[in-house]
């Protein structure tokens, strides 16, 4: 059922768009049916809309949303539907009518429905209560801080780095200054599927044999990445590596606007150097399989791999402001 | 829909008005009739036109894609020697020779661009590091990069070479699959024996026959496919249980490997039977014993009825959850004894949990080439003991022969004498005769023990949620109890206080833990462990029903040089011993139901009275 699969990153926009379109189509249909004199009763229309939205958020979105979150969406939807059906006194009366008709048992059919409802409701609620007592094998929800506050300083291979003022020594401009504009100018094209700007120019292609300085360091960082990091973070740096399926928490997705794009370069440097064990408690250091790369890489290699991650995703680090 | 073949083209042009009719008839004819007209073309294949050459702009655009996304594994010249190559298994493709595995074309021919290579780039190659590029590269970019690879990086062959290159294509879409009935599966099981498939793939198809002597065209060691993990088949196109893909691989062979094409010596029906059998072996919700490949009618029936596992579209692996349920034996039958082997019928009622495993690369020695990517766990318990049934596929049984000069409790041994393969050795990578090359080094490991282990935090009851000990053998505040079985027959229980801290042996408790069954058979280990639920609270974990108890799994493949910290690891799981039903589960629902009935009665009477004019306020 690949048609169910929503592309990650597109999700919020696509979901809101599709829902808005469905509501619009429904409103149009409802209006034209009314004009044709075959309007859908408010009661059934309300139930129909709610069921549609519930099925949408349950089955259309992948990975699935937990029940607790769907319950919130369902409640909000219900409030919206009540606002719609109680827009005017006449609407509200129309909505209530089928319910009261059944409760009062005005015709034999309504009396039959009333009997059925009177039996089913206590059975249903009793059954639901019984279900909730059955042993559950659901995973407990444990909320984890993905980007905890970094320490003021971090010590690496005998040298202390003050994260506020530390700079990536390889991100320097032609004048030897730490230069955001310079490196940004030489970044990849910003679009979905970010690509080398000009493959035949050593200033833009890290694999050009004549590449020097920034571009050469990007390639060296990439070599480190593809010898060590891609197993989890993936060939496209999107957290879908070869072994991502085995681990929990899942590896970070660097192409997401919520990870390295909103972090300072020194934060990423600290996270790479200290890995899982270096995390504070709220970020679950016990469960992270992220290696403390200080055990495997030199300081320079860590700076280079951080720079490569920004180059490959087309983001640039947040600066102190 | 029908492209005329050379043989009956002249015939059809001469028939004038009847062309339409003959087309209709011909479309309905089985392809077997066609194949007999041209003896060179195997049954089910048809000669097709060569793909159109790409434009220079496309090649240039593809080069930009290649040098951003592909070069890191496939290398600057496309020789499969990028920086990642030496730590990958399977290795990235060397494009230079034009040898491609997954094709619709007959054995030895180049692949099609649209139907084969574009699909590979779009869906990736599951079971390898090649990801699906759908959603990352646009379709145009995917075509561009293929233009670059097929014209600039494939050196030895040319899609436009009219003298040497032909395209004889399997007409997969026009063939109707045979239903995977018990009869078809049984015929398939007999064919894999007579066609000698089992010589490499093993009696039960776990890829354990001749597992460590096969080489590809470049001299690299490769292993036969494990039919029980269809989600790892390279050619699945992200549709793991679809037997069409097996049919295609079987019809066209895998170029560059010892896997031949069977198009010439099997009929189409036979190939569907084999595809159905191989596809039916892929793990399903129930574990099915296929008795060493001697598939009886009864086994075939069970295989035909198996429910496929749901596959996670984001990872192309079975969907799982991080909870391992343990079922009380009293729910499974009369006996209160725990099962003593895997054949106990009660196991059929116990859900089995798929545990995904990754290579341990957090601390040295690191396991970049991880050969155990999953294991299956089932668990039951009674009043005193809990049983864990571990099953995992391993192509080789490995038992350490040489003595090692360290004690099993010694943990912090730097690299255990296991040399990490330094990346960058690709220079002579594919020259098996060159000492120091990757091909020369492959499978030259010392053989250590296969093994499996699991751990619990010793005082898990005292963990302030969500705190846990570190997954890697605990930490000082919360030590782990680690139970480890190794293939030399040793079972030991250790206390671990960290990845770099030596173990303390828990000998008294280890004597109470029993290995009831440990057997390697047809490419699979089965290890059944009985453990007391409780022990000394200070020393070992006491397991209690209804609680979420953190648990981690480890596995070692001795023929991969796995030893000590070089191993496969899982994430944290929760073991949950299914509790007995509380009395409240029966009392409260009944009370609630009765209460609702009263409320209903009140509402109905009230409405009836209101209508009659008797309003109480």
More confident residue, B418 or A6: B418
Q: Which residue has tokens 């597109």?
A: A10
User: Among B376, B195, B391, which residue's Cα sits nearest to residue B278?
Assistant: B195
Q: Is the pLDDT of residue B559 over 90?
A: no
Q: Which B positions 112-131 lie with beta carbon below 8 A of chain A? A: 128-131
Which residues in chain B are contacts of A313 at CB distance < 8 A? none
Q: Could you tell me if A171 and A178 are in contact, meaning their C-beta atoms sit under 8 angstroms apart? A: yes
- pLDDT category at A180 given cuts 50, 70, 90 is confident
Nearest CB to B67: which of A194, A199, A285?
A: A199
pLDDT single digits (tens) B170-184: 999 999 999 999 999
Residues B356, B482 within the same domain: yes
Mean pLDDT of B437-447: 70
pLDDT at B90 over 50: yes
Q: Is B41 inside any structural domain? A: no
Q: How far apart are CA A88 and CA B319, in angstroms?
A: 48
Q: Are strands B491-496 and B480-486 parallel, antiparallel or unpaired?
A: antiparallel
- CB nearest A247 (choices: B128, B131, B358): B358
Q: How confident is the model at residue B38 (pLDDT cuts 50, 70, 90)?
A: low
Say whether both B470 and B504 belong to one domain: yes
Query: Residue B123: what are its φ and ψ, rounded to 5°?
Result: -100, -5
pLDDT at A1: 42
The answer to whether the Cβ–Cβ distance between B359 and A243 falls below 8 Å is yes
Q: What is the pLDDT of residues B249-305, one digit of tens each?
A: 999 999 999 999 999 999 999 999 999 999 999 999 889 999 999 999 999 999 999
CATH number of the domain encompassing residue B148: 1.10.760.10
Instruction: Give the model confidence (pLDDT) of B374-396 as tens digits.
Output: 999 999 999 999 999 999 999 99
CA of B295, closest CA in chain A: separation in Å?
Answer: 32
Question: How far apart (Å, rounded) are the C-alpha atoms in residues A269 and A278?
Answer: 12
Task: Tell if the CB–CB gap between A125 and B592 is shorter than 8 Å.
Answer: yes
Are B65 and B127 contained in the same domain?
Answer: yes
Q: Assign B26 a pLDDT band (cuts: 50, 70, 90).
A: very low
More confident residue, A172 or B593: B593
Q: Give the distance from residue A244's alpha carbon to the nearest chain B alpha carbon, in angstroms.
A: 8
**Nearest residue of chain B to residue A101 (CA atoms):** B607
SS (H, E, C) B143-198: HHHHHHHHHHHCCCCCCCCCCCCCCEEECHHHCCCCCCCHHHHHHHHHHHHHCCCH
Q: A116 contacts in B (CB within 8 Å)? A: none
pLDDT, tens digit, 9 for 90 and up, residues B506-549:
999 999 999 999 999 999 999 999 999 999 999 999 999 999 99
Do B167 and B181 have their domain in common?
A: no
Lowest-confidence segment of A88-92, B161-165, B415-419, B553-557 by average pLDDT: B415-419
Mean pLDDT of A28-33: 91
Residue B88 and residue B119 share a domain: yes
- B439 within some domain: no
Chain A residues touching B592 at Cβ < 8 A: 122, 125-126, 129
Contacts of B259 by beta carbon, 8 Å cutoff, 6+ apart: B200, B224, B249, B253
Summarize the confidence of residues B370-375 as an average pLDDT. 94
Beta bridge partners of B392: B525
Domain of residue B9, residue span:
1-31
Shortest Cα distance from A136 to chain B (angstroms)?
A: 8
Nearest-5° Cα angle at B337, B332 to B342:
75
Based on the domain organization, do B153 and B22 belong to the same domain? no
Residue percentage of chain B with pLDDT more than 90: 71
**Residues of B in Cβ contact (< 8 Å) with A199:** 60, 63-64, 67
B49 within some domain: no
Q: Which residues of chain A make contact with B80, given a CB cutoff of 8 A?
A: none
Say yes or no: B10 and B76 in one domain.
Answer: no
- Is there a domain that residue B427 lies in? no
pLDDT band at B427 (very low <50, low <70, confident <90, very high): low
Q: Report the candidate in B244, B243, B253 with the shortest Cα–Cα distance to residue B281.
A: B243
Mutate to test the interface with B, among A132, A235, A249 (most CBs of B within 10 A): A235
ipTM: 0.87
Please give the Cα distance from B325 to B239 (Å, whole number): 29
Say whether pLDDT at B24 is over 60: no
The overall average pLDDT reported for chain A is 88
**Whether pLDDT at B504 is above 60:** yes
Quote the CA–CA distance of B224 and B209 in Å, as a whole number. Answer: 8
Boundary of a domain, candidates B117, B149, B173? B173
Cβ–Cβ below 8 Å for A231 and B361: yes
Query: Cis omega before residue B474 (within 30°)?
Result: no
The stretches of B424-563 forming alpha helices (DSSP H) are 438-441, 507-510
User: Residue B6: its pLDDT value, please?
Assistant: 39
Q: Do A196 and B572 touch (CB under 8 A)?
A: no
| Mean pLDDT score, A73-80 | 94
Residue B19: CA count within 13 A, CB half-sphere: 12
In total, chain A counts a number of residues equal to 321
Looking at A137-141, A218-222, B436-440, B604-608, which range is the least confident one?
B436-440
pLDDT value at position B432?
A: 63
What single DSSP character describes residue B312? E
The residue of chain B with its CA nearest to that of A127 is B589
Q: Are B492 and B544 contained in the same domain?
A: yes
Per-residue pLDDT band for A67 (boundaries 50, 70, 90) equals: confident
Query: Domain locations in chain A?
Result: 2-133, 153-313
Residues B357 and B477 in one domain: yes
* pLDDT, averaged across chain B: 88
Q: How many CB atoms lie within 10 A of CB A55?
A: 10
Cβ atoms of B397 and B557 within 8 Å: the answer is no
B471 plus B567 within the same structural domain: yes
What tens digit of pLDDT does each residue of A219-229 get?
999 999 999 99
Q: Is the pLDDT of residue B1 over 80?
A: no
pLDDT of residue B29: 43
Q: What percent of chain A has pLDDT over 90?
A: 48
Question: Which residues in chain A have their CB less than 8 angstroms from residue B152's CB?
Answer: none
B181 and B306 part of one domain: yes
The answer to whether B579 contacts chain A (CB < 8 Å) is yes
- Inspect the interface and report whether the beta carbons of A222 and B83 lie closer than 8 Å: yes
Classify residue B77: in a domain, yes or no: yes
Task: Identify whether residues B503 and B534 lie together within a single domain.
Answer: yes
Q: Find the residue in B nearest to A8 (Cα).
A: B135
Task: Assess whether pLDDT exceeds 70 at residue B28.
Answer: no
Helix H or strand E encompassing A99: helix A89-104
Number of domains, chain B: 5
């Amino acid at each position: 059922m690949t048609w169910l699969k929503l592309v990650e990153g597109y999700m919020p926009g696509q979901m809101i768009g599709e829902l808005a379109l469905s509501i619009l189509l429904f409103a149009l249909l409802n209006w034209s049916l009314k004009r044709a004199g075959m309007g859908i009763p408010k009661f059934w229309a309300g139930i129909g809309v709610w069921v549609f939205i519930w099925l949408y958020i349950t089955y259309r979105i992948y990975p699935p949303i937990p029940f607790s979150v769907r319950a919130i969406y369902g409640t909000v939807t219900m409030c919206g539907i009540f606002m719609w059906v109680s827009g005017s006194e006449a609407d509200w009366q129309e909505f209530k009518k089928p319910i009261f008709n059944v409760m009062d048992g005005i015709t034999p059919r309504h009396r039959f429905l009333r009997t059925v409802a009177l039996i089913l409701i206590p059975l249903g609620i009793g059954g639901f209560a019984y279900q909730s007592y059955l042993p559950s094998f659901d995973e407990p929800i444990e909320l984890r801080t993905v980007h905890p506050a970094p320490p003021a300083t971090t010590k690496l291979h005998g040298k202390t780095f003050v994260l506020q003022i530390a700079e990536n020594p390889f991100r320097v401009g032609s004048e030897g200054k730490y230069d955001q504009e310079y490196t940004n100018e030489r970044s990849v094209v910003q679009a979905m599927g970010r690509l080398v700007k000009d493959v035949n120019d050593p200033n833009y292609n890290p694999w050009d044999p004549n590449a020097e300085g920034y571009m050469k360091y990007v390639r060296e960082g990439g070599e480190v990445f593809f010898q060590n990091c891609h197993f989890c973070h993936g060939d496209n740096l999107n957290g879908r590596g070869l072994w991502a399926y085995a681990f929990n928490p899942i590896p970070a997705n660097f192409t997401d606007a919520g990870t390295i794009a909103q972090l300072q370069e020194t934060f990423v440097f600290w996270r790479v150097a200290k890995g899982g064990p270096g995390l504070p408690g709220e970020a679950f250091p016990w469960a992270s399989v992220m290696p403390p790369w200080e055990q495997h890489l030199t300081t320079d290699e860590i700076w280079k791999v951080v720079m490569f991650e920004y180059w490959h995703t087309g983001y640039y680090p947040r600066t102190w402001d | 829909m029908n492209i005329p073949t050379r043989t009956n083209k002249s015939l059809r042009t001469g028939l004038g008005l009847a062309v339409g009719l003959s087309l209709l008839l011909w479309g309905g004819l089985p392809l077997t009739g066609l194949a007999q007209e041209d003896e060179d073309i195997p049954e089910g294949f048809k000669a097709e036109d060569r793909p159109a050459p790409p434009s220079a702009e496309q090649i240039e655009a593809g080069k930009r894609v290649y040098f951003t996304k592909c070069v890191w594994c496939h290398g600057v010249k496309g020789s499969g020697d990028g920086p990642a190559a030496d730590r990958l298994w399977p290795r990235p493709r060397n494009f230079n020779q034009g040898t491609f595995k997954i094709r619709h074309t007959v054995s030895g021919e180049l692949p099609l661009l649209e139907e084969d290579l574009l699909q590979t780039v779009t869906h990736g190659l599951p079971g390898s590091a090649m990801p699906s590029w759908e959603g990352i590269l646009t379709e145009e970019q995917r075509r561009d990069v293929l233009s670059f690879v097929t014209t600039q990086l494939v050196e030895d062959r040319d899609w436009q070479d009219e003298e040497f290159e032909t395209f004889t294509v399997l007409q997969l879409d026009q063939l109707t699959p045979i239903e995977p009935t018990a009869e078809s599966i049984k015929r398939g099981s007999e064919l894999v024996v007579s066609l000698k498939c089992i010589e490499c793939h093993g009696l039960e198809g776990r890829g354990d026959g001749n597992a460590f002597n096969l080489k590809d065209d470049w001299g690299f060691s490769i292993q036969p496919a494990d039919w029980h993990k269809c989600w790892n088949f390279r050619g699945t196109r992200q549709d793991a249980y679809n037997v069409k893909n097996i049919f295609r691989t079987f019809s066209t062979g895998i170029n560059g490997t010892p896997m031949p094409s069977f198009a010439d010596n099997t009929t189409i029906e036979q190939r569907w039977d084999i595809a159905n059998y191989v596809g039916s072996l892929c793990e399903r919700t129930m574990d099915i014993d296929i008795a060493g490949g001697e598939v009886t009618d009864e086994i075939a029936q069970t295989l035909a009825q198996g429910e496929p596992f749901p596959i996670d579209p984001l990872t192309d692996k079975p969907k799982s959850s991080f909870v391992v349920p343990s079922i009380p034996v009293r729910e499974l039958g009369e006996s209160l004894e725990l099962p003593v082997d895997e054949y106990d019928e009660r196991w059929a009622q116990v859900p089995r949990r798929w545990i995904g495993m990754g290579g341990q690369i957090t601390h040295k020695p690191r396991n970049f080439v991880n050969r155990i990517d999953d294991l299956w766990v089932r668990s039951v318990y009674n009043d005193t003991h809990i049983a864990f049934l571990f099953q995992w596929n391993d192509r080789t049984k490995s038992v350490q022969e040489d003595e090692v000069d360290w004690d099993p409790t010694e943990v912090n041994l730097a690299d255990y004498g296991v040399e990490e393969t330094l990346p960058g050795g690709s220079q002579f990578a594919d020259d098996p005769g060159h000492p120091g090359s990757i091909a020369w080094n492959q499978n030259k490991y010392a053989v250590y023990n296969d093994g499996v282990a699991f751990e619990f935090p010793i005082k898990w009851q005292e963990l302030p949620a969500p705190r846990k000990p570190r997954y890697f053998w605990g930490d000082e505040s919360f030590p782990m109890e680690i139970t480890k079985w190794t293939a030399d027959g040793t079972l030991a229980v250790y206390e671990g206080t960290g990845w770099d801290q030596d173990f303390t042996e828990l000998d008294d408790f280890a004597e109470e833990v029993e290995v009831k069954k440990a057997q390697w058979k047809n490419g699979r280990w089965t290890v059944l462990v009985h453990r007391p639920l409780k022990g000394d609270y200070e020393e070992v974990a006491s397991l209690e029903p209804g609680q979420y108890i953190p648990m981690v799994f480890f596995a070692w493949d001795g023929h991969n040089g796995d030893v000590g910290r070089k191993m496969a690891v899982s994430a944290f799981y929760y073991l949950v011993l299914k509790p007995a039903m509380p009395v409240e589960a029966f009392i409260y629902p009944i009370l609630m139901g009765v209460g609702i009935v009263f409320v209903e009665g009140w509402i109905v009477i009230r409405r009836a009275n209101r209508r009659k004019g008797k309003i109480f306020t």
